[in-house]
Structure 1
Amino acid sequence: MEARPSQNPTATPTAARNRPAAAARTVLLRGGTVHSPADPFATALVVEDGTVAWVGAEGAADAHAGAVDAVVDLRGRLVTPAFVDAHVHTTMTGLSLTGLDLTGCDSAADLLDRLARHARATTPGTILVGHGWDDSRWTRPGLPTAADLDRVTGGAPVLLTRVDAHSALASTALLRLAPEAADLPGHGAGGLLTAAAHHAARRAVEGALTAAQRAEAQRAALARAASLGIAAVHECAGPDISSEEDLRALLELAAGQGGEEGRALPEVVAYWGETAGALGTASAVGERVRDLGARGLGGDLFVDGSLGSRTAALRTPYSDPGCLRGHRGTFHLTPEAIAEHLRLCTEAGVQAGFHAIGDAAVDAVLDGLEETAERLGLPAVRALRHRVEHAELLDDSAVARCAALGVVLSVQPAFDAAWGAPGGMYERRLGAERAARMNPFAALLRAGVPLAFGSDAPVTPLGPWETVRAAAFHHRPEHRISARAAFSAHTRGGHRAVGDDLAGVLVPGAPAHLAVWRAGELVVQAPDARVAGWSTDPRSGTPGLPDVHPDAALPDCVATLVAGRPAHVAADAAEFAEAWGLGG
């Protein structure tokens, strides 16, 4: 696996990393609708050697039919660029898919009941991992204690992460696996862990996984992504998240022919959340990135925590009564460490990034970027497309600064869908005025800030069309963007965030990362009715997309191609596997 961080990493195409070897077959897909800027009325395309070789109309497809290895009848289905999930924790997502799902628990009693049933169905001695509880939605307040977890599981090691993945409930046996947690910040009474104590517990769980368990979890997550039309994920790893062993195993899996029955797996673009200051020099930063096979030092390099766990760093205190008076969240990095990280990464030609949710945390990152630009020049900073993950609470000044500095924001619209409604968690934590500023997607696009959409799975589930819907139908109308802009941020935006300006659209010469959908009527949805009205006129040449209105049924994924090879084929679409000579 190749990484080129030291000279011009923005020139490294996504297709060159972790790509399974493209099948030496040329396949014509015809008889559908192809979402392509090359031809807004296209019905067919040719995939050759992992790239899009031709896009056009049905009449012209006849000329290609005799020169290809196989022809697939799309039967009216929609072909689009495949999605990129720009923020994922693959192993944790897989463990959530194969472990205990606590989404929808409405009380401590409900959580304990689910845990007890899961424990009875699990081999004794196994670490019990669960995810998804959200006490901000519980009808009866109060968290279970470590003693409660011990009681319903017979003393098994248990770690149950909150939905935001910034705090967790741990049993007594689990805490014995991470004895250092007792002396770290965030070790609370009753087994609730946040901050450094939570990180220690997560590392203990990850370290206890066997190679087979890890591989099973990673395969499950990547297979789920492929089944949803996702051809690439950005893995946000780091020493406070998992381990080098976990990251290297994931990259090795993705680089090989790791899919079931010879199918491809989604590409993995890796970020490692280690501070450059810990490495000392720019040359050491470059060497570290090359050794890991990572795209950059960033992802979940924590500046702050989360709003749900009251650890996002704010300019002014939290508003909810459940928080200590005057509490403004938690800073995990000092301004000096942030600036040093950005300086060393920029000198090394390595993309840097941070996890920053609260307005004070975002301020600290932007301050560090401006300091770096003063020392090394604004062009050097802008060229690397340094990233901020989440960046939820921004005012107009922060938006303008992001645009000026060339920052890429990796954001998660599903957060608003989960917590942004009137009376929801955002409003309870921040008050109505600040909550109204959360996730201002429209303002960011107007300012020219590049957006890359993701899920932060397992915090919110993998679900790209749900993400597009959440951005197009934000709880605050002034923050809504068109479905087309949201779709672009979740496809092309993910590739651009890693320096690949070619992938993410279906045009000749682009990597054949594409998805085939069973969809209803194609429409144009925009916040401004006048824009939508013109865009639906055939003279505009605007390709339509599936209806993502909250009342509409979202598309089903029929097939996903990664660099021209099937990664997912639905049960009723075996012709896609047959065209590439794969198992059904």
Structure 2
Amino acid sequence: MTERTAPEDRPRTVLLRGGEVHSPADPFATAMVVEGDTVAWVGSEGAADSFADGVDEVVRLDGALVTPAFTDAHVHATATGLALTGLDLLDADSLTDALARVRAHAAARPGDRVLLGHGWDASRWPERRPPSRAELDAATGGRPLYLTRADVHSAVATSALLDLVPGVTELPGYHPDQPLTGDAHHAVRAAAHASVGTAQREEAQRATLARAAALGIGTLHECAGPTISSEDDLTGLLGLAARTPGPRVTGYWAEAVTGPAGLAKVRELGAVGAAGDLFVDGSLGSHTACLHEAYADAPHTGTAYLDTDAVAAHVAACTEAGLQAGFHAIGDAAVSAVVAGVRTAAEAVGLDRIRAARHRIEHAEMLTPETIAGFAELGLTASVQPAFDAIWGGEDGMYAERLGADRARTLNPYAALLRAGVPLAMGSDAPVTPLDPWGTVRAAAFHRTPEHRISVRAAFTAHTRGGWRAVGRDDAGVLVPGAPADYAVWAAGELVVQVPDSRVADWSTDPRSGTPGLPDLTPGGRLPECLRTVVAGRTVYARPNE
């Protein structure tokens, strides 16, 4: 990819030509003009000649693909950055491997007051159990360590860290021989995160923003809250993103609104909504997702943090104030409570106002035809993470272990959601799963349960335009004149139109279809490589030598 440039002494006009531009304005577009921070034109290579002498920069794409930049609709930037720069166990293949990594990390970080790590998942290890406190005490040499499960809804900790949390043994969720959950986990997490100073936090946030930019992600939705991060963490991230070239960051604050003070706090923090990980329940992996029927591998139905009345009160207050509301809900009982609560709020403030607010539900994994219909009726956005199915789905996956194969097959029904008209926004929940936008699109298109698959185009739209729509912007996430100039350039190979129907050919390259092509994401194939990411007309990532 070669270019001609001119000095940046005014808003610059850029012509990209000689590639493939993914645009509904012209399915055969090979060129695009950007004026300042806005897309000005898309069209053919021949028509591009008329712009060539009047622009400040010409980018010769050499056949590369240009698409809208991705939006990751659910991230935790500091935790993701700490995993990127520290102890990450997502790919640990055994308990023995995990303990070896803990020992190495402790040796490499002698100055850390509390060691931090993330990502263990005993359901994927041959030992089938998490590390014990005694094993972690030995591996760290008796130092404080906080180590979250992959879903971040439970954690293991060393004795030295528990000693820093008075009364933890009396809190719900404490067990001497099991991972911490509930209030005990939240108290230990707060103590561990308090050890992260301003400099370390900013280093972690910068690492996340840089990784996102290098993957073609132009916007992140930060899901902050009092039990999962802190007010300083959110304001620090929003300030960093505002003053540093990189992805945009939209912040959510997950605290129930009970009056004017709560509404004021959300606005003072710079958040766009009292939403994100406002927990109605927990997670399936930690046995804390709230179910109608007991787990297949545990004699209980999980944990409910908010009931229908609490949901209704929060949604009504936010709607009256013109603020977006939202919740974390995974289990079928939790999702039912959300739908019932939002419907109750609609009776109080009016259905049209509820729909106009575009309230959102994070994860929304265990859905039924009735709750899907409720999402559609109430205008709720489903903020989903297809990598969950890729990692934990399937006949022999963790979901089947927790729920039994029949219930597990119902999870993450993306096709049914789209058929019902439910808006989808896609993300990673990083660090729960890595930032990986094309992998996310692939996971939705090749869902482990075939009837839940959607087309690559639909998944791509949910991971680009869907994230913008989730924050009330219908004019962005697409390359058409007048849209924000947030785009990525890819080395992508042949472009195809992939559909989720294994009974026929999985793709078409017939240009007569008039459908813009996308990379072939067949499992096992190589994913596109990001060459450049541009946000608001400004390059925030360029591959070396590009």
- Which of 300, 322, 327 in structure 1 is aligned with 2:277? 300
Q: Match of 1:318, SS?
A: coil
1:533 Cα deviation (Å)?
A: 8.2
**Cα distance in 2 for residues equivalent to 1:265 and 1:453:** 20
- Matched with 2:469 is 496
Question: CA shift at 1:530, angstroms?
Answer: 8.8
SS of 1:213's partner is: helix
Using the aligned pairs only, state the percent identity.
63
Residue 251 of structure 1, aligned match among 238, 255, 261: 238
Alignment of 1:460-471 (within 5 A): 460-471=433-444
1:178 match: secondary structure: coil
Correspondence list, 1:133-144, <5 A = 133-144=120-131
2:23/2:480 contact within 8 Å kept: yes
Q: 1:270 and 1:531 mapped to 2: Cα distance?
A: 42
Query: 2:4 maps to which residue?
Result: none
Pick one of 407, 413, 416 that aligns with 1:440: 413
Q: Specify the code of the residue in structure 2 equivalent to 1:435.
A: A
Residue among 352, 363, 376 paired with 1:379? 352
Tell me the CA shift for residue 141 of structure 1. Answer: 2.9
Equivalent residue in structure 1 for 2:250, among 269, 274, 281: 269
Please list, as runs of the form range in 1=range in 2, the aligned pairs for 1:378-397 lying within 5 A after superposition.
Answer: 378-397=351-370
> 1:309 aligns to what?
286
Output one character per residue of 1:40-61: Cα deviation in whole Å (capped at 9) or x when no partner: 1111111111110111111111
Shift of 1:363: 0.3
Say whether the 8 Å CA contact 1:91–1:217 is kept in structure 2: yes
Residue 170 (str. 1) matches residue 160 (str. 2): no
Q: Secondary structure at the match of 2:14?
A: strand
Q: Does 1:94 align with 2:94?
A: no
**Residue type of the partner of 1:415?**
F
Q: What do the CA deviations read for 1:326-356 (whole angstroms, capped 9, x no partner)?
A: x000011132211111111111111000000
SS, match of residue 479 in structure 2: coil
Equivalent in 45, 58, 63 of residue 71 of structure 1: 58
Partners of 2:519 and 2:131 in 1: CA distance: 43
With over 3 angstroms needed to count, the CA separation of the structure-2 counterparts of 1:405 and 1:531, relative to structure 1, is farther
Q: State the distance in 2 between where 1:243 and 1:338 align.
A: 22
> 1:299 is matched by which residue type in structure 2?
G
Whole-Å separation in 2 of the counterparts to 1:124 and 1:156: 11
Count of aligned pairs: 539
How far apart, CA to CA, are the structure 1 residues paired with 2:528 and 2:248? Answer: 22
Q: How far is the alpha carbon of 1:70 from its aligned partner?
A: 1.0
Asked which structure has the greater RCO (Cα within 8 Å, sep 6+), the reply is: 1
Moved more, 186-195 or 219-228: 186-195
Unaligned runs of 5+ in 1: 1-20, 259-263, 574-584
Give the 3 Å change call, closer, same or farther, for CA 532–53 of structure 1 in structure 2. farther
Question: How big is the shift at 1:22?
Answer: 12
Is residue 289–residue 330 contact of structure 2 (8 Å, CA) maintained in 1? Answer: yes
Deviation of 1:407 after TM superposition, in Å, equals 0.3
Q: Who is 2:491 aligned against?
A: 518
What TM-score comes out, normalization by structure 1 length?
0.90
**Cα distance in 2 between the residues matched to 1:285 and 1:195:** 23
Query: Is 2:523 aligned against 1:550?
Result: yes
* Map 1:337-352 → 2, pairs under 5 A: 337-352=310-325
Q: Does 1:130 align with 2:117?
A: yes
Q: Which amino acid counterpart does residue 40 of structure 2 have in structure 1?
A: A
Alpha-carbon shift at residue 242 of structure 1 (Å): 0.7
- Map residues 283-432 of structure 1 onto 2, 5 A cutoff: 284-320=261-297, 323=298, 325=299, 327-432=300-405
Identify the match of residue 36 of structure 2 among 49, 53, 60. Answer: 49
Give the SS at the match of 1:189.
coil
Matching of residue 147 in structure 1 with residue 134 in structure 2 = yes
How far apart are 1:290 and its partner, in Å?
A: 1.8
Whole-Å Cα distance in 2 between the matches of residues 218 and 251 of structure 1? 10
After the TM superposition, which of the residue ranges 172-181 and 547-556 deviates more from structure 2? 172-181
Range with bigger deviation, 199-208 or 479-488: 199-208
Look up the equivalent residue of 1:329 and give its one-letter code: G
Answer whether contact 1:180 1:200 (CA < 8 A) is retained: no
The answer to whether the 8 Å contact 1:125/1:156 transfers is no
Structure 1 counterpart of 2:49, from 62, 66, 78: 62
Q: CA deviation at 1:191?
A: 6.5
Amino acid at match of 1:368: G
- The 3-state SS of whatever aligns with 1:72 is strand
- The DSSP-based 3-state class of the residue aligned with 1:179 is coil
Alignment match, 1:477 = 450
User: Does the 8 A contact of 2:123 with 2:129 survive in 1?
Assistant: no
Distance in 2 (CA, whole Å) between partners of 1:35 and 1:68 is 21
Distance 1:178 1:22 in 2: 55
CA distance in 2, matches of 1:534, 1:221: 34
Q: 2:173 aligns with which of 178, 186, 195?
A: 186
Give the Å deviation of 1:205. 2.1
Cα separation, 1, equivalents of 2:473 and 2:160: 46
Query: 1:559, CA displacement in angstroms?
Result: 0.4
Q: Does 1:235 align with 2:222?
A: yes
AA aligned opposite 1:310? H
How far apart, in 2, do the equivalents of 1:57 and 1:160 lie?
53
**2:20 aligned partner, one-letter code:** T
Taking only aligned residues, the RMSD between alpha carbons, in angstroms, comes to 1.7
| Cα distance in 1 for residues equivalent to 2:386 and 2:118 | 20
Q: Match for 1:492: what amino acid? A: R
CA contact (8 A) 1:23 1:565 kept: no
Deviations 1:163-208 (A, max 9, x none): 1111111112222333353332111214721112112222222221
Higher mean alpha-carbon deviation, 64-73 vs 466-475, is at 64-73
* Cα distance in 2 for residues equivalent to 1:186 and 1:252: 35
Contact 2:121 2:130 (C-alpha < 8 Å) held by counterparts:
no
Tell whether the 8 Å contact from 1:22 to 1:564 is kept in structure 2 after alignment. Answer: no
TM-score (norm 2): 0.96
Question: CA separation of 1:480/1:23 partners in 2, compared to 1, >3 Å: closer, same or farther?
Answer: farther
- Say if 1:285 and 1:344, in contact at 8 Å, map to a contact too: no
When structure 1 is superposed on structure 2, of 439-448 and 287-296 the one drifting more is 287-296
- Written as runs of structure 1 = structure 2, the 5 A alignment for 1:563-574 is 563-573=536-546
Query: Post-superposition shift, 1:117?
Result: 1.3
| Structure 2: segments with no counterpart, 5+ residues | 1-7
1:459 — aligned with what?
432
Secondary structure of the residue that 1:345 maps to in structure 2? helix
